[in-house]
């Protein structure tokens, strides 16, 4: 089975998984679409019509190239989760850009911002959780972020500096 065959049917499963884990199953599935031309970002959320007939439903597009990446499953899930935050805000009629509420939810979920980064830019930094030692490769320097898993497990989901993500190393740039 090729990489792509393995992941092509994965979107709705990932959607349900993230929906249960982080949104209490609150979200109705939007149209979930692979976009073969998306390059500037790994995913995007397209709001739907709010009119009674909903003649165009909201949709989340995920860039097809993610299926070819080494950590495809993780990247696809992370990108989808990011777009689901936009969708979640939109459903509740909130401003649905990268607002303070967006960033707060993103931190709670432990989702990174892959979607704003073109595929040509590899991770530059490697952060690590002081608690569980899990690694977090990132493209940008992080501000004060803590490990979502540990905060959830030991601090009621609140930010806890014991689980701060600290910079472990900086990657040399790769062509």
Crossing angle (nearest 10°) for helices 11-23 and 100-109: 100
Nearer to Zn ion, 3 or 135 (CB): 135
- Return the SS3 of 167: strand
Rg of the chain in Å (alpha carbons): 17
| Interaction between residue 146 and Zn ion (CB under 5 A) | no
- Determine the Cα–Cα distance for residues 165 and 107; give it in Å rounded to an integer: 11
Taking the least distance from each CB to Zn ion, the nearer of 6 and 94 is 94
3-class SS at 171? coil
Shortest Cβ 46–Zn ion spacing (Å): 12
Residue 43 found at the interface with Zn ion (CB under 5 A): no
150 touching Zn ion, by CB under 5 A = yes
62 near Zn ion (CB under 5 A): no
Most distant CA atoms of the chain, gap in Å: 53
CB of residue 129 vs Zn ion: minimum separation in angstroms?
A: 3
C-alpha to C-alpha distance for 139 and 150, rounded to whole angstroms: 22
Could you tell me the smallest distance in angstroms from the CB atom of residue 175 to Zn ion?
Answer: 27
Closer to Zn ion by CB, 80 or 129: give it: 129
CB of residue 53 vs Zn ion: minimum separation in angstroms?
Answer: 28
Residues 93-132 binding Zn ion (CB under 5 A) are 129, 131-132
Residue 106, both tokens: 């993103």
> Which residues of the chain form contacts with Zn ion (CB under 5 A)?
129, 131-132, 147, 150
């Amino acid at each position: 089975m090729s990489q792509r065959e393995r992941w092509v049917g994965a979107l709705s499963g990932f959607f349900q998984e993230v929906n249960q884990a982080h949104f209490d199953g609150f979200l109705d599935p939007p149209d979930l679409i692979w976009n073969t031309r998306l390059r500037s970002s790994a995913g995007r959320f397209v709001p739907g019509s709010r009119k009674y007939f909903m003649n165009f439903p909201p949709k989340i597009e995920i860039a097809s190239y993610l299926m070819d990446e080494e950590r495809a499953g993780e990247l696809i899930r992370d990108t989808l989760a990011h777009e689901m935050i936009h969708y979640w805000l939109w459903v509740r009629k909130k401003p649905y850009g990268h607002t303070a509420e967006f960033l707060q939810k993103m931190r709670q979920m432990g989702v990174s911002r892959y979607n704003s980064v073109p595929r040509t830019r590899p991770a530059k930094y490697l952060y690590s959780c002081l608690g569980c030692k899990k690694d977090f490769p990132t493209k940008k320097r992080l501000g004060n972020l803590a490990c979502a898993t540990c905060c959830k497990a030991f601090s009621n989901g609140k930010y806890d500096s014991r689980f701060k993500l600290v910079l472990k190393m900086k990657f040399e740039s790769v062509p």
